[in-house]
A and B are shown apart, each in its own frame.
Chain A
Amino acid sequence: MAVITYREALNQALREEMARDDRVFLMGEEVAVYQGAYKVSKGLLQEFGEMRVVDTPITELGFAGVGVGAAMVGLRPIIEFMTWNFSLLALDQVVNAAAKMLYMTNGQFPMPMVFRGPNGSALQLAAQHSQAWESWLAHIPGLKVVVPGTPYDAKGLLKAAIRDDNPVCFLEGEMLYNTKGEVPDEEYVIPLGKADLKREGDHCSLITHGKMVLVALQAAEQLAKEGIQCDVVDLRTVRPMDVDAIVASVKKTNRAVVVEEGWEICGVGAQVVDYVQRNCFDYLDAPVLRVHQADTPMPYAKAIEKAAKPDVPKTIAAVKKVLYIDD
């Protein structure tokens, strides 16, 4: 199995799906000539031509709307946002057009499209460019929200997203593009809505997604040195959420910590906690705790930014707390 970057995995998924189905096309800022702001679309213009790899002006609302129109007439657009922070300008198309089209046209217009781009914070990009949007998007009926944490998942899930007949918001990690992992040479597709147990342990469930999968795995690794074994449940898809996987893990461990990149209030973790309390009430030995970004705009100063982000030490502390160690 080849070891490739998350960036290359996404590139492979785009290439394979564009080759497989000529209705699939990529549109966004700098995706063609510049080969992508993060080089995810490297080589695609040369391979598929300018009709299928389309540079746009800096008009998020406009090209998102073109994408919705294209989907209505039978194409399968992939709309790249340079980052999801810029997607706010396009949210009317995402939320009011794409998410509701099938419903409001009584099933006449499916929306087989993908909105994708990097999500969450990188390093010192400050308050406006360091935001994780999955809880916003997952709030909307009609959208699917996918947040892969590894190259393997990124490729398999993007292929599934492109093949899905519903609008899928695909949130990549800017800091993940250079991370590496094994990806099979043969083709594979990962179904949306299925979590992945990234690590097994009996003492506590770490439930997470996206970039925080790496944080949770590191925390689990360190905890293992102290004899504390954690399940790491990677949701992979935030909507639909794999409730069965969450419940199975928590029923086994009796304790859970939810780790997410975004803010606390109405975050993805709040939804996870709700599923846990509804389905695992009699199995809980401790309140479910959450690790998340501090409830503040992301600070620019390096040290304060670090303090505001969810990280390995905060995750370890939460696990120990639900285990009633080091109160």
Chain B
Amino acid sequence: MATKVMMEALSPTMEEGRLAKWLKNEGDTVANGDVLAEVETDKAIMELVARGDGVLRKRLIGEDTTAPVGDLIGIIAGADEDISAMLAGAGGGDAGASEAKSNAKGEAKDAASDDAASAAAKPSSEGAAKPSEAEASSEAPANKADAPAAASATSAPSEKPAQSDADGRVLASPLARRMASEQGVSLSNVQGSGPGGRVVRRDIEAAASQAASAPASSAKAAASSSSTSANAGASAPAAAQAKPQGKPPAIPLAPSMQIDGDARDVPLTQMRKTIARRLSESIGPVPTFYLTAEFDTTTVASLRTQMASAGDAFKVSVNDIIMKATAVALAKHPECNAHWLGDSIRYHARVHLGMAVATDDGLIVPVIRDADTKGLGQIGREARELAGRARERKLKPEEYTGSTFSVSNLGMFGIDQFTAIINPPEVGILAIGSSETKPVWEDGAFVPKQRMRVTMSCDHRVIDGAVGARFLQTLKHLIENPFLMLY
């Protein structure tokens, strides 16, 4: 039994790998688990291991060659086994088909579970079913010609992504491209029914007729999404101006979300889908908006002084305190501690905090796990240890994956304020500016205060303006009243 050697995803964000060095020659006997090669990923140099026993019969790419994840790069087989078919098939197109199948299944399930969703979702899911049937019978060539048309129409083309090739290009016939552009249909929203998922004329016709028959529901969803955006604009400043400190204000309570176990997957409602789709079209794959607030860090500064005076062991950095506060705030706001999974949102009960670290090679984000449950000392030690090894490029994949939210701090560079880019599938990231002494009007006089600007980037598919603002409000209270973290 021959075993394919594939370019594997050796880091979560790896899309291609450079084969740095083959450690086995063609003809070498290899056992399952043997290291075959060293592969440079986007993050580090990793080991690629054999997934079967036999002889490394063929190395299909040379050293210093880059291959996309999933490409066949070698073959392990018996010494005399015929591997010509496998060599000929190097490319493999059936992955797309099975993906399309699982998409279709997910779609059916979503539709079934929609009754739990808001009433607004209903018209659009019904609207999707009807034109499908109509489309099937109106497709031109009779008999067999109907079969593929029906199959494509019932799979609700406008909700599913088009098939794309390895370069991410949507496959479509020239005619389909022209029709899509003339009729204002977005090709990437049409599921292709041709070979390899190619979008062809009948798919555009199905999509166009579906769009025409369900304008009311999509308009409604669009309207509700735009009013959500308006809310974001209105509530953000409200949060930012939240009361001056004095009496310790009540910490806003987390919404009533319950998470059993480590995480909870919530299927997207139709409204959430529409918001996600429309906002993505507007701004790119991650529709990001930004919330900025200025925190008073006078108390944080005095806290650090007090701790340092208790002994070197108690020295903590501003960043350690921010990390801890962020983690505690996330534990109270799981709606920001989430992953966007395309067809669902995963809300995490545990807080694994990513910490952006600049290295000579670029940026990497090691993770402090369960940061909300760790003390300042432990967070500080872990942060320094991870950052040190990140700079040496010695992090293991499990040390820079699985974060549920991230923090990027450029305060030490004297940056007042900036925006950070979300690290998908996370849905938020904090950008921390420098702490500076500023005059603040308090009780009829200007007094010098330490102030720090924090900007949160939010993935609008998951976090609406008010949700992000409430989280920032909690974080502000924690930073300005650090004792609350003890509670």
Contacts and interface: CB of A to CB of B under 8 A. Distances in A.
B143 A227 contact: yes
B145 A286 contact: no
Contacts of B145: 226-228, 323, 325
Contact of A324 (B142, B175, B193): B193
B174 A203 contact: no
B174 A283 contact: yes
Interface string B106-144: 000000000000000000000000000000000011111
B180 to A, nearest CB: 11
Contacts of A228: 141-142, 145
Contacts of A320: 144
Nearest to A280: B174
Interface in B169-191: 173-178
A282 interface: yes
Chain B contact residues: over half helix, strand or loop, or mixed? Answer: helix
Nearest to A223: B141
A103 interface: no
Interface in A207-256: 226-229, 254
A286 B144 contact: no
A326 B175 contact: no
A133 B332 CA distance: 82
A286 B194 contact: yes
B195 interface: yes
A233 B263 CA distance: 64
A227 B144 CA distance: 9
B141 A227 contact: yes
Could you say which interface size class chain B belongs to? Answer: 20 to 34
Contacts of B175: 254, 282-285
A232 to B, nearest CB: 17
A285 B193 CA distance: 12
Nearest to A326: B144
Contact of B142 (A202, A226, A327): A226
B229 to A, nearest CB: 37
Contacts of B339: none
B141 A226 contact: yes
Contact of B141 (A283, A285, A325): A325
B469 interface: no
Interface in A288-327: 320, 323-327
A325 B178 contact: no
A326 B195 CA distance: 11
Contacts, number: 55
B140 A281 contact: no
Contacts of A323: 141, 145
B140 A285 contact: no
Contacts of A282: 174-175, 177-178
Interface in B78-112: none
Contacts of B147: 325
B200 interface: yes
Contacts of B148: 324-325
B476 interface: no
B461 interface: no
B201 interface: yes
B145 to A, nearest CB: 5
Interface in B357-393: none
Contacts of B142: 226-228
Contacts of A284: 173-175
Contacts of B140: 202-203, 227
B218 to A, nearest CB: 27
A320 B193 CA distance: 14
Contacts of B200: 285-286, 324
Contacts of B174: 281-285
Interface string A259-300: 000000000000000000000011111100000000000000
Contacts of A285: 173-176, 200-201
Contacts of A324: 148, 193-195, 200, 202
B460 to A, nearest CB: 36
A202 B173 CA distance: 18
Interface in A134-162: none
A323 B173 CA distance: 12
A254 B205 CA distance: 14
A281 B193 CA distance: 20
Nearest to B195: A327
B43 to A, nearest CB: 40
A238 B141 CA distance: 31
B170 to A, nearest CB: 15
A223 to B, nearest CB: 9
Nearest to B204: A285
Nearest to A286: B173
A51 B435 CA distance: 113
A71 to B, nearest CB: 46
B241 to A, nearest CB: 55
Nearest to A284: B174
Given A227-B141, A286-B194, 12 more contacts: A203-B140, A226-B143, A228-B141, A254-B201, A284-B173, A285-B173, A285-B174, A285-B200, A286-B173, A325-B141, A325-B147, A327-B195
24 contacts: A202-B140, A203-B140, A226-B143, A226-B145, A227-B142, A227-B145, A228-B142, A228-B145, A229-B141, A254-B201, A282-B174, A283-B174, A284-B173, A285-B173, A285-B174, A285-B176, A285-B200, A285-B201, A320-B144, A323-B141, A324-B193, A325-B147, A325-B148, A327-B195
Interface of B: 140-145, 147-148, 173-178, 193-195, 200-202
- Closest A-B pairs by Cβ, 9 of them: A227-B142, A285-B175, A285-B201, A285-B173, A282-B178, A228-B141, A284-B174, A227-B141, A282-B174
